[in-house]
């Protein structure tokens, strides 16, 4: 079946540290891949997406590359800020519905 | 920027009662969805809706659940007789099309607490 696995949280980093949140997927065919972010008290917001293999999605300094060979879509940011503290969800799209990973909580300390 | 809105933000109900969760999707969107997140668990797909019909539903979406677009703007999720295990955050989402590449825009969620 289709599924998404994310690294366990919470992840705690100091400001300006490098961030990687791992995401791997299992799916038939080539789904589109997404990262959503949920800030405290808010809904899910699209952070970035990639629709085919080797595509790189990017937004607000975050990047993720669709790797078909490793079935991965890891989220990276070179220098995190306190304002990046949130829960990050990796997801794949099958027929219009989203299948989510379990979410990774990121806490950035000044 | 257009956004999806949901009301109420928090609903507390007694087991066995009916609840209706409301959503206003983005105005030019044609596809609507409900997801839920039980505390500490994954966000799970419940149902998708297009052209006044259910397009797809998950195994969670049993006969206790129903969806409706009662007018041109609202999209509702009804739980007929709530159970304790229905306690969760419920998210509404909408998209322009239902292709796998299209972005779904989410509302802030309704936290449902069943006592």
For residue A51, what is the nearest residue in chain B, using CA coordinates?
B101
Residues 6+ apart with CB under 8 A from B51: B30
Determine how many CB atoms are found less than 10 A away from the CB of residue B110.
22
Out of B31, B41, B43, closest to residue A89 by CB: B43
State residue A1's pLDDT score.
Answer: 83
**Closest chain A C-alpha to B9 CA, distance in angstroms:** 10
Confidence of residue B100 (pLDDT cuts 50, 70, 90): low
State residue A9's pLDDT score.
Answer: 84
Q: pLDDT tens, A37-68?
A: 999 878 899 999 999 999 999 999 999 999 99
B25 to chain A, any CB pair closer than 8 A? The answer is no
Look at B42 and A101 and tell me if their CB atoms are within 8 Å: yes
CA atoms of B83 and B114, how far apart (whole Å): 7
Chain B residues whose beta carbon lies within 8 Å of the beta carbon of residue A49? 101, 103
Chain B residues whose beta carbon lies within 8 Å of the beta carbon of residue A89? 43
State residue A68's pLDDT score.
Answer: 93
* Burial of A86: CB neighbours in 10 Å, binned 0-12, 13-18, 19+: buried
Q: pLDDT tens, B17-53?
A: 999 999 999 998 999 999 999 988 889 999 999 989 9
State residue B103's pLDDT score.
Answer: 87
Q: pLDDT tens, B53-80?
A: 999 999 999 999 999 998 878 999 999 9
**Closest chain B C-alpha to A13 CA, distance in angstroms:** 22
A14 against B102, higher pLDDT:
A14
Ranges under pLDDT 50 in chain A = none
B7-46 burial, b at 16+ Cβ within 10 Å, e below that, comes to eeeebebeeeeebebbbbbbeebebbbbbbbeeeebbbbb
Out of A32, A96, A102, closest to residue B42 by CB: A102
- Cα A34 → chain centroid: 7
State residue A17's pLDDT score.
Answer: 97
B54 to chain A, any CB pair closer than 8 A? The answer is no
């Amino acid at each position: 079946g289709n599924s998404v696995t994310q690294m366990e949280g919470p992840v705690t980093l100091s400001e300006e540290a490098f961030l990687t949140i791992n995401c791997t997927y299992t799916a038939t065919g080539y789904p589109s891949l997404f990262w959503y972010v949920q800030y405290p008290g808010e809904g899910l917001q699209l952070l970035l997406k990639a629709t085919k293999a080797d595509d790189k999605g990017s937004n607000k300094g975050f990047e993720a590359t669709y790797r078909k060979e490793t079935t991965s879509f890891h989220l990276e940011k070179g220098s995190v800020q306190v304002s990046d503290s949130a829960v990050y969800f990796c997801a794949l799209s099958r027929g219009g519905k989203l299948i989510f990973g379990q979410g990774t909580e990121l806490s950035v300390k000044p | 920027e257009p956004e999806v809105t949901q009301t109420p933000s928090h609903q507390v109900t007694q087991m066995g009662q009916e609840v209706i969760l409301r959503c206003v999707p983005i105005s030019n969107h044609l596809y609507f969805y409900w997801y839920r997140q039980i505390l500490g668990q994954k966000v799970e797909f419940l149902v998708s809706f297009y052209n006044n019909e259910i397009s797809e539903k998950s195994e969670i979406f049993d006969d206790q659940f129903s969806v409706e677009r009662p007018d041109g703007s609202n999209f509702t999720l009804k739980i007929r007789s709530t159970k304790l295990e229905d306690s969760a955050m419920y998210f509404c989402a909408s998209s322009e099309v239902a292709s796998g590449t299209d972005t779904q825009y989410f509302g802030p969620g309704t936290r449902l607490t069943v006592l």
